[in-house]
Amino acid sequence: MSEVEAAADRAAPAFRLDGRTALVTGAGRGLGRAAAIALAHAGADLVLLSRTKSDLDEVAAEARAAGVKAQVAVCDVKDGAAVRRLCMSLDGLDIVVNNAGGNIPEPFVDVSEEHLDQILSLNVRSVFLVAQAAARRMLEDPIRKEQGGVIINMTSQMGHVGAPNRTVYCMTKHAIEGLTKALAVELAPHNIRVNSIAPTFVETPLTATFFAKGDFRKWVLDRIPLGRLGRLDEIAAAIVFLASPAASLMTGTSLVVDGGWTAQ
């Protein structure tokens, strides 16, 4: 066996997540659903969290078909007490994908205080609360101390650049990039890695209505050097990588999956 073949044999198991439990927020649709299914196929048991039980039930059924356990948790991530109760009720917690979030595109001068508070609460406050509750649960478990924990925050390419009509969204995603770095430094001595995923535009049920507008689609594609939108499976693969032992030396960084948008 050549050195290359030996390295490949060693690398394959490093991407497996067997015996680990992953909590995914916003797991019922879009990126959250794709992440959950990818984690399941890598061997992780799942705790699926969102506000819509029917969506979660569908994802749970697909995950169980892949041979893993899947628990459904109907919960609003903005409810800190509910998030804390959920995390402390789990038998164990190894991986968190902090995915729930939203956007209301509009001109800066037209942003209402209601919209400002809504997006700040969902995109920043809830991410902080989920990460905090998850870290507390991980720190209480000596097995997780030895094996290590993982927190993955979903940000965006807009956490690295600016764009018109997205002032609040950009602000919140920049905030989570900063939170990711601070958490990584503080939790590293406890063997908990914290990273972010920063995708470009991905066509999902949430974004489909935006891309139906030809001028917006052209504006996006003109700024992606690879010339196409991202795919759900490409973002999910990056999440599995960061969650796995293959990324064991990575913490405090942002994995930018943007087709080259931020390279310009």
Active site positions, annotated: 169, 173
d(Cα 199, Cα 19) in Å, to the nearest integer?
28
CB 133 within 8 A of CB 83: yes
d(Cα 135, Cα 96) in Å, to the nearest integer?
9
CB 59 within 8 A of CB 33: yes
Q: Name, in order, each residue with C-beta under 8 angstroms of 84's C-beta and a sequence gap of 6 or more.
A: 129, 133, 136
d(Cα 262, Cα 200) in Å, to the nearest integer?
9
Chain length of the chain? 264
d(Cα 132, Cα 136) in Å, to the nearest integer?
6
d(Cα 149, Cα 96) in Å, to the nearest integer?
8
Beta-sheet strand order (sheet of 95-98): 70-74, 45-50, 21-25, 95-98, 149-154, 192-199, 254-257
